[in-house]
C-alpha cells in the first residue's frame, strides 16, 4: 500500500513537518437499518450526470501548459495533501498538453494504480475521474506561446525517460520525481528560473506541495470544483 511505503521512506521527521498526527478510523455499523428496496436511482443518476457535467466543463477549459489538480480518496491521498502548508485540498497534480485537439495530463504517480511507478500520460477525463477523486482544479500560468512550446519540449523529454515516482520526496535528485516535484522542475526549467515556482522550506527541509503551484504570483486558479 502506498501510504505504508511513504511512511517507511520519508521517516518520522518529515511526517511531523507535514502535520500528520494520526489517521482517524471510522467504525460504521448498519445494525438495525433496513435496506431500502430502491435507493433513489434517480438521485444516483443525477449525481453521475452532475459530475460528468463538471468534468466536461473543466476539460473544455483546458489549454496546453495548464496545471491540473485533484483531491484523491484514501489514506495515501490524505497523507500527501498534508505536505501542503497553505491549502491542504489537493493531493495530486499534472501538466496538460493538447494533442490532436484533446487535453492529456502528464503526471508522476505511484501506488496500486500505477504499478511501474513511471511518469504517466492520461486523458483529462481519466485524470479527473470521480471514481477515486472528490474534486478538481485548473491553474493557468502567465506563459507566452513560446513558453508553452518550450514546456511541451521539456515535458516530452521527461516522458521519453519516464522517471519513476520519488518515494523519498527528495528535491535534490532528478532520476525520480513526485507529482508536484515534476511540475515544479518542468516549469522552472522551461522558464530558466529556479525561483519561478518557490518550494516550501520547513525545519531545514525543502519540498514542493501542490499548493506551492498556485500560491504563486505567476499562477491563476481558473476553476475549483467539488464533486457531488
Distance CA(130)–CA(132), nearest Å, equals 5
Q: Assess contact for 59 and 124: CB atoms under 8 A.
A: yes
CATH number of the domain to which 178 belongs: 3.90.1720.10
For residue 32, is it within any domain? no
pLDDT recorded at residue 40: 63
Tally of domains within the chain:
1
For residue 46, is it within any domain? no
For residue 31, is it within any domain? no
pTM (2 d.p.): 0.84
pLDDT recorded at residue 36: 46
For residue 48, is it within any domain? no
13-22, 109-118, 181-190: which has the highest mean pLDDT? 181-190
For residue 51, is it within any domain? no
pLDDT recorded at residue 222: 97
The C-alpha cell 518515494 sits at 167
| pLDDT bucket at 7, cuts 50 / 70 / 90 | very low
- Give the structural domain span for 173: 2-20+64-226
Burial 190-217 (b: 16+ CB within 10 A, else e): bbeeeebbebbeeeeeebbbbbbbbbbe
Average pLDDT (43-50) is 91
SS (H, E, C) 49-63: HHHHHHHHHHHHHCC
Kindly state the helix (H) or strand (E) to which residue 139 belongs, with its residue range.
strand 133-141
In sequence order, the β-bridge partners of residue 93 are: 69
Q: Assess contact for 64 and 190: CB atoms under 8 A.
A: no
For residue 37, is it within any domain? no
Q: Assess contact for 184 and 207: CB atoms under 8 A.
A: no
Percent of the chain predicted with pLDDT > 70: 82
For residue 186, is it within any domain? yes
For residue 121, is it within any domain? yes
pLDDT recorded at residue 167: 92
Amino acid at each position: 500500500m502506498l501510504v505504508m511505503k511513504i511512511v517507511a521512506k520519508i521517516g518520522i521527521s518529515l511526517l511531523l513537518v507535514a502535520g500528520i498526527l494520526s489517521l482517524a478510523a471510522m467504525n460504521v455499523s448498519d445494525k438495525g437499518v433496513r435496506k431500502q428496496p430502491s435507493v433513489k436511482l434517480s438521485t444516483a443518476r443525477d449525481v453521475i450526470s452532475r459530475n460528468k457535467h463538471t468534468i466536461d466543463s473543466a476539460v473544455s477549459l483546458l489549454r496546453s501548459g495548464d496545471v491540473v489538480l485533484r483531491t484523491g480518496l484514501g489514506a495515501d491521498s490524505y497523507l500527501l495533501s498534508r505536505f501542503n502548508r497553505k491549502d491542504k485540498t489537493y493531493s495530486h497534480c499534472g501538466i496538460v498538453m493538447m494533442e490532436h485537439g484533446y487535453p492529456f495530463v502528464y503526471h508522476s504517480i505511484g501506488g496500486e494504480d500505477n504499478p511501474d511507478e513511471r511518469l504517466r500520460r492520461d486523458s483529462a477525463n481519466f485524470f479527473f475521474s470521480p471514481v477515486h477523486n472528490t474534486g478538481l482544479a485548473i491553474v493557468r500560468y502567465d506563459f507566452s506561446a513560446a513558453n508553452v512550446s518550450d514546456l511541451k519540449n521539456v515535458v516530452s523529454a521527461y516522458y521519453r525517460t519516464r522517471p519513476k515516482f520519488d518515494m523519498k520526496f527528495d528535491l535534490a535528485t532528478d532520476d525520480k520525481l513526485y507529482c508536484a516535484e515534476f511540475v515544479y522542475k518542468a516549469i522552472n526549467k522551461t522558464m530558466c528560473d529556479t525561483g519561478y515556482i518557490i518550494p516550501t522550506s520547513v525545519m531545514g527541509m525543502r519540498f514542493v506541495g501542490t499548493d506551492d503551484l498556485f500560491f504563486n504570483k505567476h499562477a491563476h486558479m481558473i476553476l475549483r470544483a467539488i464533486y457531488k
